[in-house]
């Protein structure tokens, strides 16, 4: 089982519960721009060569059209 996400702490450095594990935000932000997130929506576990792997598939989201490239109706960059 993989459980990943942000950890929030209060002013006394005690852990605060988060509403979700935010696994879809585990990947990097393209060009370090928070308006262009890589969103992962498929997670495929795999075993091979004595190692466990997690293949994460998704898309680049550009709802504001910052890249100047075509997007679908949900703001996803094709390809």
| Predicted pLDDT of residue 68 | 92
Position 13 pLDDT exceeds 80: no
67 DSSP 8-state letter: T
Q: Identify the three-state secondary structure at position 70.
A: coil
18-38: pLDDT as tens digits:
666 555 555 555 556 778 888
| Predicted pLDDT of residue 4 | 56
Per-chain mean pLDDT for the chain: 76
pTM exceeding 0.85 = no
- Banded pLDDT at 14 (limits 50, 70, 90): confident
Q: Give the mean model confidence (pLDDT) for residues 62-77.
A: 92
Cα 36 from Cα 70, distance rounded (Å): 14
**In the chain, where are the structural domains located?**
24-77
Residue 3 phi/psi, 5° resolution?
Answer: -130, 110
């Amino acid at each position: 089982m993989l459980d990943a996400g942000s950890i929030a702490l209060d002013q006394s450095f005690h852990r605060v519960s988060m509403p979700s594990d935010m696994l879809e935000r585990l990947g990097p932000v393209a060009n370090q721009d928070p308006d262009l997130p890589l969103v992962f929506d498929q997670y495929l576990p795999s075993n091979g060569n004595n190692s466990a792997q997690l293949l994460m598939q998704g898309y680049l989201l550009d709802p504001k059209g910052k890249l100047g490239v075509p997007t679908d109706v949900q703001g996803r960059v094709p390809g």
